[in-house]
Amino acid sequence: MGENGAGKSTLANILSGSLAPTSGELILNGEAIRFSSTAEARDYGIDIVHQHFMLVPAFTVRENLLLFGADLNKARDLPLDAVVGELSVGEQQRVEIARALGSGGALVLFDEPTAVLTLEESDALLERLRQLRAEGRAVVLITHRVEEALAVADRITVLRAGEVVGSYGAGEATAEELERQIAGGQFDRPTRSSESGVAEDRLIVEDLFVLADRGHLAVNGVSFHVRAGEVLGIGGVDGNGQVELAEALVGIRPVESGSIRRSGRVAYIPPDRNRDGLALTMSVLDNLLIAGHRKPALRRAGLLLPWLARLWAEGIVRRFSVRPPYLDRPVVTLSGGNRQKVVVGRELDETPDVLIAVYPTRGLDVRSQADVHRSILDARAAGCAVVVVSADWDELNAISDRVFVLSRGQWREER
């Protein structure tokens, strides 16, 4: 366990052979080993399930599994003939796991596998980990979720800034103790203030039908409204029309029938910061300008002036504490949490009238999660109408005024 940037992924990369250690040695079964490629690591029986999927998007599930020598018999429950790039993130994750598990190595490493899964899917995964343990395989699980580690691990090690700061046996640590170790001290969890009273409807959706990319109906007759100063949470198993609904609300996916009425400026935190939130090769400044280039305040005579843009961007980097605070670095050099701060900062710099946030804290550590939640709740307090899509029930409960579940594109109220 550890924060974003604590060195967990670096460690995983060393174990899987994609990064060489500067010094020190690896001992596997009493034997000092050295390898210089992922193929060699696999030969030693080390399998890794990566945080970023190692799949070929243009291939089908079957082709991907065969490519990595996985056992197709163990993947019967997957849509073998579907093209991986067209699957939802959660489904892709399941393919990624099947890919890595299939070859049957002695050590399996999971790099934050549950970050994109729903609670139900996560439980199934943890069950799978216990099975692997029973089969006699060693399992290393990297996770942000304290409760997962407590539920499944025999030993828990906490990393901070690249060093081991604590190690516990099963039953030795409490959730509070772990959270404090991870964050390196106390920090405040944001809390939702009480209802902000009667306010106007900012987003009115009536009898909405939306198609998915593959042409099937993803949103199937949904109606709701969101008031100013209210957070509407949308949960449910990934791939049940949440992303399509959000995209329709933002206005980047055509509406099949029904109506959406929005008032004012709509801000958008897209589902996958690396895929559709950021241009990874561009600088931090340019990625902030993805929202900022529309601001009249940054223009003179129609020209986007660099010094005005920099001044504005520096303000965001400071207020949302993006680290390192360098505007000219490619955004790809930032950690996941800081990349998300770039997205959140540029969208919430001025309070929007409507905010659509999809998986806003996916893959973030507890502190970064709290930062994002605080920003969303600040927007709510300032009168923004917010829709949050998440697969994480704790998140939905913590920040939403109302929660709905989308199941096969249909609506169910939870609370």
Partner 1 sequence: MRRVLLLAAGLFLVLALTLWAFGLPVAESLRHLWEGSLAGKFAIHRTLVKASPLILAGLGMVVAWRAGMFNIGGEGQLLVGVAAGASLYHAVPDLQGPALTVLVLAACILSGAAWAGIAAFLHTKRGVNVVISTILLNFVAIQLISYLVRGPLQPPGSSIPQTAPLPESAMFLRLDPQSSLHTGVLLLPVLAFLVHLWLKLTPSGFRLRLVGQNPLAARSARVPVARTQVVALLVSGGLCGLAGGVEYVGVSGYLFDGFSPGWGFFAIPVALLGGLEAWGVLLSGLYFGALLAGSRNLEAFGGAPSALVFAVQGVAVLAFVAFQQLANRRRERADT
Site stretch for partner 1 (CB under 8 A), options 156-164, 198-206, 289-297, 360-368: 289-297
* 308 is an interface residue for partner 1 by CB under 8 A: no
Binder to partner 1 among 32, 134, 198, 303 (CB under 8 A)? Answer: 303
Site stretch for partner 1 (CB under 8 A), options 24-32, 225-233, 274-282, 360-368: 274-282
* 37 is an interface residue for partner 1 by CB under 8 A: no
DSSP-derived pairing of the beta strands 138-142 and 107-111: parallel
| Residue 30 DSSP symbol | T
SS3 label, residue 176: helix
* 80 is an interface residue for partner 1 by CB under 8 A: no
Site stretch for partner 1 (CB under 8 A), options 63-71, 213-221, 280-288, 313-321: 280-288
Closest distance of CB 42 from partner 1, Å: 22
Q: Quick count: other Cβ atoms within 10 Å of Cβ 225?
A: 14
Binder to partner 1 among 282, 308, 327, 382 (CB under 8 A)? Answer: 282
Closest distance of CB 106 from partner 1, Å: 28
Residues 161, 183: Cα–Cα separation, whole Å: 11
What are residue 49's DSSP bridge partners? 110
SS3 label, residue 248: helix
Alpha helices by DSSP H, listed for 61-117, are 61-67, 89-102
Site stretch for partner 1 (CB under 8 A), options 147-155, 158-166, 217-225, 276-284: 276-284
Binder to partner 1 among 58, 175, 252, 311 (CB under 8 A)? Answer: 252
Residues 29, 25: Cα–Cα separation, whole Å: 13
Contact criterion met (CB below 8 Å) for 175 and 147: yes
Closest distance of CB 88 from partner 1, Å: 15
Nearer to partner 1, 48 or 356 (CB): 356
Binder to partner 1 among 15, 55, 250, 389 (CB under 8 A)? Answer: 250
* 66 is an interface residue for partner 1 by CB under 8 A: no
Residues 371, 399: Cα–Cα separation, whole Å: 12
Residues 389, 272: Cα–Cα separation, whole Å: 12
Question: Residue 151: phi, psi to the nearest 5?
Answer: -75, -30
Residues 381, 372: Cα–Cα separation, whole Å: 14
Site stretch for partner 1 (CB under 8 A), options 50-58, 248-256, 369-377, 386-394: 248-256
* 83 is an interface residue for partner 1 by CB under 8 A: no
Tokens of 380: 């709510």
* 277 is an interface residue for partner 1 by CB under 8 A: yes
Binder to partner 1 among 58, 305, 311, 381 (CB under 8 A)? Answer: 305
| Residue 78 DSSP symbol | S
Binder to partner 1 among 231, 291, 370, 388 (CB under 8 A)? Answer: 291
Give the CA-trace dihedral at 350, 354, 359, 364, to 10 degrees: 20
Binding site for partner 1 (CB under 8 A): 19, 250-252, 268, 270, 275-282, 286, 289-291, 293-294, 299, 302-306, 333
